[in-house]
Structure 1
């Protein structure tokens, strides 16, 4: 084998910067996995209440019926998908991702109907 006379460069002076949101997500996912049974129970209650508030505000708002029904469909489907994922005991990552999606969708519907 031929001996190389080049100097090997290392990245010891440079720290790898991780994305803050990804780091927070990974920490929350690890915590969710650790206590999945308890967190799933609390999450079902919380996201169902948040979804109900979104639906009430949606139905109280005066907008075209088609838009109202599409939003109602999305909120209902996302809430049911999370509840089904918990009942089917899907992988923790899928369940956690559905929880985040459901909360974000319900929050967006609430904010858009309050404005």
Structure 2
């Protein structure tokens, strides 16, 4: 919990820079996850996974554009990055 509070305080401190870097990171990590999904086929399961990754990444972008509260934007960024990293490690390890 201390790590979360520290990261969130830094996020709020440099809000505009953090949001910009977050958009770039979420898009890049999400596109790597999408590439790995599509490298393994074009079936219904892969399309569902692709939909989830794109939806989560775009949700973060939408929270930024809607100018929601910084805590909500930060949580959306964490969810977006976590989902993409989980998919990436899943495809690389298995």
Give yes or no for TM over 0.5.
Answer: yes
Tell me, yes or no, if structure 1 residue 112 matches structure 2 residue 90. yes
**Equivalent residue for 2:29?**
50
Tell me, yes or no, if structure 1 residue 27 matches structure 2 residue 6. yes
- The alignment partner of 1:82 has SS state of helix
> Structure 1 stretches of 5 or more lacking a match?
1-21
CA RMSD in angstroms, aligned pairs only: 1.1
Report the structure, 1 or 2, having the larger helix content: 2
Q: CA deviation at 1:65?
A: 1.4
Q: Give the whole-Å Cα distance in 2 for the aligned partners of 1:66 and 1:26.
A: 39
TM-score, reference length from structure 1:
0.77
The number of residues matched between the two structures is 93
Runs of 4+ in 1 over 4 A off after TM superposition: none
- The alignment partner of 1:89 has SS state of coil
**Structure 1 residue corresponding to 2:17, chosen from 31, 38, 43:** 38
Tell me, yes or no, if structure 1 residue 72 matches structure 2 residue 72. no
Q: CA deviation at 1:61?
A: 1.1
**Equivalent residue for 2:71?**
93
Q: Give the whole-Å Cα distance in 2 for the aligned partners of 1:65 and 1:93.
A: 36
